Structure 1
Amino acid sequence: MLSASAQKTFKYGANLQKVDSTGFYRINLQPAFIAKAKGDMADIRIADAMGNFVPYIQAGSLPQKDQKSFVVFNTIDARLATDTGTTYIVENKTGLPLDRLWIKLQNTAVQRKVNLMGSDDLKQWFAIQENIPLQEAVQNSEGTYMQSLSFPASSYRYLKLLVDDKNKTPIKFLQAGVYTEYAATLAYTPIPGLRFTRADSNKTTFITIKLNDNYQVNKLHLNITAPKYFKRNVTIYQVINGYKEAILEAELNSIKNNDLLFAAKTTELQLQIGNGDNQPLVINGINVYQSNEYIISYLDGKQNYHLLAGDSTAQAPEYDLKFFADSIKANIPAINHQAIVKNIVASAEKPKAAKDYTALIWLAIIAAVGMLLLLTLKMVKEVGKKAGK
């Protein structure tokens, strides 16, 4: 049973599957749960039966042992005049979609936050995730340390790290890259319940996709059945509170699978396909997906646990567990959560107000006075009659 304070703070919850024994577990976060969380998932918490928060780390923060599989990205010198703070830009030369990036830094014990952006041309940049906390260095003798940044899956050619350290001493990035086995095995979960409409006009096809919740979307697939050969430009927009923002410019091509990879958190997407002088594409179906999201926690086999989300004011938690990530084995059991429910606290019943008899008392007094007046008048008349005899 959750404490009342936890229920008041977090609007949504879901029971966790009961674990058989005490140990580390990987918790799968389904699209319906992520939809209730903030875009950066900073408000996700695990609570025990007493309402106490239980530490966790994101799955992407696990250290990798096999350095042979680590691919170092090329560093790009393309700082913009509008950038404030330390900037570090790298090129994703794998060509694969990524949902995490490992960065190597010079040892530091300061606290900084970083914004991650993506671009395909080094000119127009799109937000991927904001306010990611940089960890402090773990004690070692090497003078450097590695940190993993997890984020919604993206396929941008260039990634920019912009550190919020204006007017402060900058931190030093040494390199960034990925472990190839992670990049190659990125998996997705379908998002249910979408509806789409299309309109063709002026050599352009407009498609609107409506989702039944504020889902995190990382992949969109168009089932194009005709013509046999095509090559069209497409722009994807996410719509938030009526505002339309371009999040991806890509190409649809008959020799590709037409999976469009990006990062969005929205209830509505819009696609604009340029047809030129060609007939519009025949699209028989559209599918949207969320990249698989996990958190890892040490759970007691005798306890019941609950996932929480939906606090717009929550900041990302800082748990000691991040310093013990090497204690977690690569293949740990996975568990799921149950259906998402609203956390409702029953308001205290207002005490019933005591009945007010004032009006009745006054009515009784007025009636009594009236009766006395009538009796008095009657007696006066009787006396007058006797006196007249």
Structure 2
Amino acid sequence: MNKFFILLFIANLSFAQDNIATAKIKFDKKDGLHKLVLPTELRSLSNDDLSDFRIFDSKKNEVPYYFETKNNQSDNIQFVVYKIISKTVVPKKNTVLVFENPKSTINEVILEIANSNITKPYSISGSIDNEKWFGLVNNAFLSPGYPEESSSGFSTISIPTCFYKYLKIDFNDKKTLPINILNVGFFNSKTSKETLLNVSYKSKSVTELKTEKKTKIRINFDNSQIINQVSFTISNPKLYKRNVFLYKKSTRKIKHKFENYQEQLASFELNSETNNTFDISQVFEKELFIEIENQDNQPLTISNIQFFQIPIYIISDLKANENYTITTGNKDLNTPQYDLENFKSNISAKLPEAQIIETKKIKNNPEIAANKTFWQESWFMWLCILVGGIAIAHFATSLAKDMNNKT
């Protein structure tokens, strides 16, 4: 009996259809390698790893390609300086540096130091009000690096994750002269919006949770989308600083029971002094939630939320007077292995561009249907149902006979 239900489940599962998508390639009709940008719409219909992506010529032959993600991308790396509250130097004793932490939490400090070859003992403490201090790091050692091409360098100090608004670094100068601390801050790396693809969403709903002092935003896409960056445009008020959490709804199993929970994907801070654009670890979701902590402030007026995706480029050798078709969405396919992949280091980054057009989502794909094995066919499912029905009838008859014999 159990075997029947397992067999029936497999038959139904195999009979389910993939979301097959097709597209065409528009190019200059010249022989040679071309570069194509993978549209967000087509990528959303593919596997997360794009293992199901295929290019076919007019004779249904596979056309080799490889993916490239480095073209036309540029990172804007800036050193953001913290506000230094005080810097006190007591000769032959210590140098004490106090600075303000603008973040909700902090776990490292980056120092810009004039070139030095001195190893310095130091301690770090934190404070909420710049009066009462609590220990974080005691008697650690800093060995600044000094690049030859510059008169200063950067050194990173790791600290336990904390929420203190003020931090104090106490350098021991008893045995060596002080080192020259030029700035304290952190590196902020942002991928320029111009190099990213804008990901459109289907709907957005905003809910004000007054008792919880939070704003909840629900974002829905047509299909699961790759997201690498999110950007906010705030029109009111002029001055604000709010903690924000990006999460999705997930299910987990605890003690043989399943429960729903909010899985946090990213956290950041909306601040009137920044551009409010945040790089996040890649997510692939159809529905996202954003939660803003308002505390006792009025909710923010958000005029726009944008989502961005790092573009993927497809490099393929196209032939003149040939027509090409792209298919994706077959979850059973594995990543193809093409010879072209081995020569990408020798291929110029400046290639003529082609365009992927006419993306269509279809339910039935004749080529895939033709390659189905027998257990994926509808007749096999109905055969399983028939066999199962006979098994159930036989089981019921046997059970009735056993009960009659007992009476």
TM-score between the two structures when normalised by the length of structure 1: 0.53
Counterpart amino acid of residue 199 in structure 2: I
1:214 aligns with 2:233: no
Is the alpha carbon distance of 1:329 and 1:307 closer, same or farther for their aligned partners in structure 2, counting shifts above 3 Å?
Answer: same
Structure 2 residue 24 is matched with structure 1 residue 15 = yes
1:247 equivalenced with 2:265 (yes/no): yes
Distance 1:344 1:285 in 2: 38
Deviation at 1:195, TM superposition (A): 1.7
Cα distance in 2 for partners of 1:24, 1:299 equals: 6
Matched to 1:283, the amino acid is I
In the alignment, structure 1 segments of 5+ residues that lack a partner are 1-7, 63-68, 70-91, 97-119, 123-181, 349-389
Of the candidates 7, 28, 34, which is equivalent to residue 43 of structure 2?
Answer: 34
Q: Which structure would you say has the larger Rg?
A: 1
Contact 1:27 1:296 in 2 (8 A): yes
Q: In structure 1, the residue corresponding to 2:246 is in which secondary structure?
A: strand
2:278 equivalent to 1:260: yes
2:158 paired residue number:
none
Matched, 1:188 2:196: yes
Q: Does 1:344 align with 2:380?
A: no
Q: Secondary structure at the match of 2:331?
A: coil
C-alpha distance in structure 2 between counterparts of 1:336 and 1:60, whole Å: 16
Residues in 2 aligned to 1:345 and 1:250: alpha-carbon distance in whole angstroms: 43
| 1:49-60 aligned within 5 A | 49-60=58-69
What's the counterpart of residue 301 of structure 1?
A: 320
Question: Aligned residue for 2:243?
Answer: 233
CA distance 1:250–1:26, change in 2 (3 Å): same
Q: Which runs of 5+ in 2 are unaligned?
A: 1-16, 80-105, 109-189, 252-259, 371-407
Query: Relative to 1, partners in 2 of residues 1:304 and 1:248: Cα closer, same or farther, differing over 3 Å?
Result: same
1:170-205 deviation digits (Å, cap 9, x = unpaired)? xxxxxxxxxxxx966871222234321112221111
The residue that corresponds to 1:272 in the other structure is 291
- Residue of structure 2 equivalent to 1:332: 351
- Structure 1 position 30, deviation (Å): 0.7
> C-alpha displacement at 1:305, in angstroms?
0.9
CA contact (8 A) 2:239 2:272 kept: yes
Relative to 1, partners in 2 of residues 1:264 and 1:279: Cα closer, same or farther, differing over 3 Å? same
CA distance in 2, matches of 1:186, 1:274: 30
The 5-angstrom pairing of residues 171-186 of structure 1 reads: none
Residues 121, 339 of structure 1: alpha-carbon distance in 2 compared, 3 angstrom cutoff: farther
Q: Per-residue deviation at 1:261?
A: 2.2
CA distance, structure 2, for counterparts of residue 324 and residue 24 of structure 1: 12
The 3 A distance-change label for structure 1 pair 59 and 250 is same
1 CA distance for matches of 2:50 and 2:21? 13
Q: Counterparts of 2:26 and 2:303 in 1: how far apart (Å)? A: 38
Higher strand share: 2
Q: Whole-Å Cα distance in 1 between the matches of residues 357 and 76 of structure 2? A: 39
- Measured on the aligned residues, the alpha-carbon RMSD in Å equals 3.2
TM-score normalised according to structure 2 size: 0.51
- Asked whether the equivalents of residues 188 and 289 of structure 1 are also in contact (C-alpha less than 8 Å), the reply is yes
**Per-residue deviation, 1:304:** 1.1
Q: Percent identity?
A: 27
| 1:287 aligns to 2:306 (yes or no) | yes
1:314 maps onto 2:333 in alignment: yes
Taking a change above 3 Å as real, the CA distance of residues 211 and 185 of structure 1, as seen in their structure-2 partners, is closer
Q: Any idea what SS the aligned residue of 1:39 has? A: coil
Displacement of 1:29 in angstroms is 0.8
